[in-house]
Amino acid sequence: MNISFDGRIVIVTGAAHGFGRAIAQGFASRGATVHVCDINAAGLEETVKLCGPNTSAHVLDVGSRADVQKLVPAFGDVDILVNNAGGVRGQVGRPIEEISEGDWQTIFDVNLSGAFFMAQAVAPAMKKKRAGRIINISSGAGIGISLTGIQAYASAKAGQIGLTRQLAHELGPWNITVNNVAPGFVRSNPTTEKQWEAMGEEGQTRLLQNIALKRLGSPDDIAAMVMFFASDYAGWISGQIVSVDGGK
């Protein structure tokens, strides 16, 4: 299966490391013009170096609708949007009674509101040309539970899955597909490295034993599913959530 994105304009959020960087590299290596967005400017510059000259970096907080609306139109007629920005914003699992309003909201801002604001910004151009791909990156936490016990993260990712299904039906008449990749646990960034270490040897062994393939995946495994959803091969697939987790 030869997948090419020659001439396509792509946005990847949360592209300063991990999944987002691997996804950006996947598109760039297949001929796309890629706009990578994140709040981490240094990480973005490293991503651009790895992707090559057809990639540009943009510091963006996707949780700010005003900032999104200001930046995205400058990219022109975007063909593909990958909503990868997310994470736990440095939080760890705590009892429900200890969670402040700010703790709750900041995770929703990046994981759910950001995906909505970005989709909202690209929809007019996609509707105009009656074509487009939107791929959201959720998590196994949105389907089941958060391994780290972070209530807002599990809730926001579940909400993003609901948003995927809703937008698939709203945008489908314009030949815009909306799909979702739900990764399992992957050691892909400083946060997941800390989570892995915190599990200890016993917890790590237990996690691996609960995976059918008995091993962890890599960011490239997630990027591969995104490439498929974004390709012409997935033209009649929409509203779907695919777990890329080694089998559960």
pLDDT, tens digit, 9 for 90 and up, residues 166-190: 999 999 999 999 999 999 999 988 8
Confidence of residue 92 (pLDDT cuts 50, 70, 90): confident
Mean pLDDT value across residues 200-214: 94
Residue 233 is among the residues annotated as catalytic for this protein: no
| Residue 112 placed within a domain | yes
Determine what percent of the chain falls in helix, strand and coil, rounding each to the nearest 5.
50, 15, 35
| Residue 109 placed within a domain | yes
| Residue 196 placed within a domain | no
Per the model's pLDDT, the better-predicted residue between 115 and 93 turns out to be 115
Kindly state the helix (H) or strand (E) to which residue 58 belongs, with its residue range.
strand 55-59
| Residue 4 placed within a domain | no
**Res 204: pLDDT:** 94
CB 14 within 8 A of CB 219: no
Asked which of 101-115, 143-157, 215-229 is least confident by mean pLDDT, the reply is 143-157
Whole-number percent of the chain with pLDDT over 90: 88
**Res 88: pLDDT:** 87
| Residue 200 placed within a domain | no
CB 6 within 8 A of CB 54: no
**Res 147: pLDDT:** 80
Q: Give the pTM.
A: 0.95
Q: How far, in Å, CA of 68 to CA of 177, rounded?
A: 21
Catalytic residue (one of 19, 27, 153, 185)? 153
Q: How far, in Å, CA of 107 to CA of 128, rounded?
A: 32
**Res 191: pLDDT:** 83
Mean pLDDT value across residues 73-78: 96
CB 168 within 8 A of CB 238: yes
| Residue 193 placed within a domain | no
| Residue 18 placed within a domain | yes
**Res 189: pLDDT:** 85
| Residue 139 placed within a domain | yes
CB 69 within 8 A of CB 82: no
Domain around 236: 9-188+218-241
Mean pLDDT value across residues 24-40: 98
Q: Which of 28, 155, 41, 40 is nearest to 80 (CA)?
A: 28
Total structural domains within the chain: 1
Look up the CATH number of the domain holding residue 131.
Answer: 3.40.50.720
